[in-house]
Amino acid sequence: MAQKGVNTKKDRLLITLSGIIPDIDGLGILGGVFYDNKIIGLELWSTYHHVLSHNLPFCILISSLFAAISQAQLRVFALTTLCFHIHLFCDLVGSRGPDNYQWPIPYLWPFYNQPQLVWQGQWQLNTWPNMLITVFFLGFILYMIWKKGESPIGLLFDGVDKKMTIALRGRFGTP
């Protein structure tokens, strides 16, 4: 039996989602929209962001769920766990608030409140390191589209990669 890779669009989409899914605990900010009360949204956000879904138990839950509905279950479990933790790492190093609040991550919540992960060298969210990283990865995505004709954008917006590939190869030539 041939070894299965992470070759299906669904599996790649699940892995991609695992890198952004921790931030669903920040959706409380929308509470202000539903209740027409900005204070409720801010309270939900400040109370639960970096708590409900920025922890190891949630990671195991999501990785298990995604693996269960995937083709390459073991690889999807491993890669969703990795992407989830890359998200936590990025939060730790570069998401300090404008008021210098560090948004500690209770890694073992809801079972334990400790440890609360923080890094003293954490930079603010809207500073140049994050801008540089964003520009780098946008450039990398454009390069992938030009070189391989596909990128994570194509997982969410079918056909966009093809159109961008045609445009980029028309401008910069065929690789």
CA distance 94 to 21: 18
Nearer to Zn ion, 19 or 41 (CB): 19
Q: For residues 85 and 15, give the distance between their C-alpha atoms in angstroms, rounded to a whole number.
A: 12
Query: Nearest-CB residue to Zn ion?
Result: 91
Tokens of 154: 């194509």
Q: At its nearest, how many Å lie between Zn ion and the CB of residue 43?
A: 19
Q: State the minimum distance, in angstroms, from the CB of residue 89 to Zn ion.
A: 10
Q: Applying CB under 5 A, does 22 fall inside the site for Zn ion?
A: yes
Residue 67 near residue 82, CB atoms below 8 Å: no
Smallest distance from Zn ion to CB 88, Å? 7
Return d(Cα 104, Cα 116) in angstroms, integer.
Answer: 5
Considering only residues 107 through 136, tell me which ones interact with Zn ion, judged by CB under 5 A: none
Q: Which among 59-67, 74-82, 87-95, 105-113 is the span making contact with Zn ion, rule CB under 5 A?
A: 87-95
- Structure tokens that stand for 164 in this block: 């961008």
91 binds Zn ion (CB under 5 A): yes
Contact 153, 141 (CB under 8 A): yes
Report the nearest approach of Zn ion to the CB of residue 23 (Å).
5
Which range touches Zn ion (CB under 5 A), out of 72-80, 90-98, 105-113, 165-173? 90-98
Residue 165 buriedness (CB in 10 A; 0-12 / 13-18 / 19+): buried
Query: Which residue, 125 or 131, is less far from Zn ion as judged by CB?
Result: 125
Binding site for Zn ion (CB under 5 A): 22-23, 91
